[in-house]
Amino acid sequence: MDPYINVDPGTLNPYEHGECYVTEDGAETDLDLGHYERFLNIPTSQANNVTTGKVYQTVINKERTGDYLGKTVQIIPHITDEIKRRIKFVARKNQFDIVITEIGGTVGDIESLPYIESVRQLKWELGPQNCLVVHLTLVPYLAATGELKTKPTQHSVKILQENGIQADVLILRTEHSLNDALREKVALFCNVDKPSVIESKNVSTIYQVPLLMLDEKLDQVVLRKLNLPPGNEPELKVWKTFVKKLQNPKRKIKIGLVGKYVELHDAYKSISESFVHGGAVNECEVDLQYIHSEGITDQNAKEKLAGLNGILVAPGFGNRGIEGKISAARYARENNIPYLGICLGMQCAVIEFARDVLKLENADSSEMNARTPFPVIDLMEGQKGITEKGGTMRLGAYPCRISKDSFTYDAYQKTDTSERHRHRYEFNNKYLKQFEASGMRAVGINPESGLVEIVEIPGHKWYVGVQFHPEYRSTVVAPHPLFVGFIKASMGE
């Protein structure tokens, strides 16, 4: 549940809200959904991300069509009923036993109040053993006095109680371990039993958190409060192996991430996490260097990209920083440095190759230059005539057929896959024969539309551009093969 009024984050600048995550069924969602997929290894859908914009849009549309039979439409019951409907819909649609719902924002935010009221109603409707409220609070550490302070937690719980909700479990974010006396104090002042005061201590990697929650017996507390059988202890062997490899790498490499939103690392969150997954498989620490594309030119590329074992050119939209991305693609190609271009990064590799190898002067994407004489990247046919920005791109998972003699096939070890997309422009097939005759091959094709999905330069150490977003599918249990292959190539293997 995201309290902002945007219908989805698809039109938000990444500086505002970090990356926009895309689900299999084409929903543009908050980046938190990416975290859930990476942890659970379960695909999410449009139903899993709800915004205030979606809720109000639905209610207003119903009012316009007369669904409320002339009633006065209000926050209670109409908005809260719609919020509750969306929470329960996820369970009905997928036949889940338990739905975990995150309410974004902070207790006390005006924009979060309808969601908190909806939870109050749900708890009353379903009963205490069918609805559990887990409240996350901060326990700050005052270095001057050397103590942890519980007052912010007490106040947060009090505000929640004023809204009619008693927290069942408290998870306390902290820099230092909580002692028994502090846990007892929180339990007493916040009206919960002591086992329900859970420590969430700062750790070196977010992937340690599930193991810490297991040590804190959070799972047992939740099952007990929901009156569910305890069952067997979770099987986390794969997870523990992953964390062990992550914390004990045998090698270290530097990868340059070239983009235009590099000041905010959350703008490329799925990419950075994919390097964590792929690095652990290779028992290699990936030192990700964030490099602003606006600062790169053909003249200074050697200086800006020095010392890198691999170069990734990131996705994005618009003209700003595009020439720097093209220069980075050229530097990787000419110096035999492993290269991975994602979405716009693939298109930049195509533009660079057209200009420098095919000698098509001023070749470009029609997104950047509508008057280019050689639009090697052009607007997709299905996108022509579309004027609205929100949710109108080519979104979601589409099939791709991979040629066997390719870097990509070596990574996937199969010829057919399905990957998620978020774009309006595509490789212009009018130029395909010229590219392939000069050494850039289309090794991945959409079997239904003929869209070029993957390009490679066979004589290169490892040079791959993909129109899709492989980072959206990478998880702890199933690291994306392209990131695994790219890291392996960057290690010199």
Q: Could you tell me the two tokens for 315?
A: 């996705």
With bands split at pLDDT 50, 70 and 90, how would you rate the model's confidence at 390? low
Among 26, 8, 28, 31, residue whose Cα is nearest residue 272: 31
- Residue 383 clears pLDDT 90, i.e. is over it: no
- Residue 387 clears pLDDT 80, i.e. is over it: no
pLDDT of residue 95: 81
Tell me how far apart the alpha carbons of residues 291 and 135 are, in angstroms, rounded to a whole number.
Answer: 38
Bigger pLDDT: 234 vs 444: 444
Yes or no: say if 47 and 26 are a contact pair by the CB < 8 Å rule.
Answer: no
Question: pLDDT tens-digit profile of 97-140?
Answer: 899 999 988 898 999 999 999 999 999 999 989 999 999 999 99
In one letter, which amino acid is 68? Answer: Y
pLDDT of residue 293: 96
pLDDT of residue 22: 93
Span 338-342, average pLDDT: 98
Yes or no: say if 151 and 126 are a contact pair by the CB < 8 Å rule.
Answer: no
- Average pLDDT value for the chain: 94
The torsion angles phi and psi of 423, rounded to 5 degrees, stand at -160, 165
Tell me how far apart the alpha carbons of residues 88 and 77 are, in angstroms, rounded to a whole number.
Answer: 16
Cis peptide bond upstream of 77, omega within 30: yes
Question: pLDDT tens-digit profile of 239-274?
Answer: 999 999 999 999 999 999 999 999 999 999 999 999
Q: Could you tell me the two tokens for 147?
A: 């103590």
pLDDT of residue 318: 84
- Residue 93 clears pLDDT 90, i.e. is over it: no
Q: Is 336 left (phi over 0), alpha (psi -120 to 50) or beta?
A: left
Q: Is 316 left (phi over 0), alpha (psi -120 to 50) or beta?
A: left
Tell me how far apart the alpha carbons of residues 276 and 253 are, in angstroms, rounded to a whole number.
Answer: 12
With bands split at pLDDT 50, 70 and 90, how would you rate the model's confidence at 327? very high
In one letter, which amino acid is 318? Answer: G
pLDDT of residue 356: 96
3 state SS for the chain: CECCCCCCHHHCCHHHHCCCEECCCCCEECCHHHHHHHHHCCCCCHHHCCEHHHHHHHHHHHHHCCCCCCCCCCHHHHHHHHHHHHHHHHHHHHCCCCCCCCCCCCCCCHHHHHHHHHHHHHHHHHCCCCCCCEEEEEECEECCCCEECCHHHHHHHHHHHHCCCCCCEEEEEECCCCCHHHHHHHHHHHCCCHHHEEEEECCCCHHHHHHHHHHCCHHHHHHHHCCCCCCCCCCCHHHHHHHHHHHCCCEEEEEEEEECCCCCHHHHHHHHHHHHHHHHHCCEEEEEEEEEHHHCCCCCHHHHCCCCCEEEECCCCCCCCHHHHHHHHHHHHHCCCCEEEECHHHHHHHHHHHHHCCCCCCCEECCCCCCCCCEEEEECHHHCCCCCCCCCCEEEEEEEEECCCCHHHHHHCCCEEEEEEEECEEECHHHHHHHHHHCCEEEEECCCCCCEEEEECCCCCCEEEECCCHHHHCCCCCCCHHHHHHHHHHCCC
Question: pLDDT tens-digit profile of 27-77?
Answer: 999 899 999 999 999 999 999 999 999 999 999 999 999 999 889 999 999
Question: pLDDT tens-digit profile of 288-316?
Answer: 999 999 999 999 999 999 999 999 999 99
pLDDT of residue 389: 63
Tell me how far apart the alpha carbons of residues 1 and 472 are, in angstroms, rounded to a whole number.
Answer: 20
- Residue 232 clears pLDDT 70, i.e. is over it: yes
Radius of gyration of the chain, Cα coordinates, nearest whole angstrom? 25
Supply the residues annotated as catalytic. Answer: 343, 469, 471
Number of CB atoms found within 10 A of residue 59's CB: 20
pLDDT of residue 391: 62
pLDDT exceeding 90 applies to what percent of the chain? 86
- Residue 231 clears pLDDT 90, i.e. is over it: no
Yes or no: say if 476 and 38 are a contact pair by the CB < 8 Å rule.
Answer: yes
Tell me how far apart the alpha carbons of residues 182 and 132 are, in angstroms, rounded to a whole number.
Answer: 23
